[in-house]
Amino acid sequence: MLQIVVAIGSAFALIVRAIQGKPKWWLLFSIGLILAIISWAGFKINKGIRANGQALREVGNKIGDINIPDISKKWSASSYWFSILLAILSSAFFILGIVTLFCNI
């Protein structure tokens, strides 16, 4: 997900640089929407990985493999915090887009 965000961020940076003046509201909304989608996907991926690890541990315990570690807390996963950061950035771009639209900044 990080590589996708870097690629999208670079593309939007080029677009902003090519546009004369300040970024338009629709561009800020677009960035916010894309970041929200990536954040949502990150949360879903993290949830799936955790569920898969839990199922693997249960099956391992049934067949006698007790060395599979327990699932760590999601708060300790960097992907979880990255998804939260993207959600915050997404909200910031949406708010900036609204301010730009209604205040003609």
Place of tokens 């301010």: 99
Residue 3 placed within a domain: no
Residues composing the chain? 105
Residue 40 placed within a domain: yes
pLDDT tens digits in sequence order for the chain, 105 residues long: 778 888 888 888 888 888 888 888 888 999 999 999 999 999 999 999 888 888 888 888 888 888 877 777 878 888 899 999 999 999 999 999 999 888 875
Are the C-beta atoms of residues 68 and 56 closer than 8 Å to each other? yes
Residue 20 placed within a domain: no
Residue 55 placed within a domain: yes
Residue 46 placed within a domain: yes
Residue 5 placed within a domain: no
pTM of the model: 0.81
User: Residue 88 belongs to what domain range?
Assistant: 26-103
- pLDDT reported for residue 105: 58
The alpha carbon of 30 is separated from its chain's Cα centroid by a whole number of angstroms, namely 15
Residue 59 placed within a domain: yes
Are the C-beta atoms of residues 93 and 35 closer than 8 Å to each other? yes
- pLDDT reported for residue 81: 92
Using CA atoms, how far residue 45 sits from 10, 63, 93, in Å, is: 24, 27, 23
Number of structural domains the chain divides into:
1
DSSP-derived letter for residue 74 is G
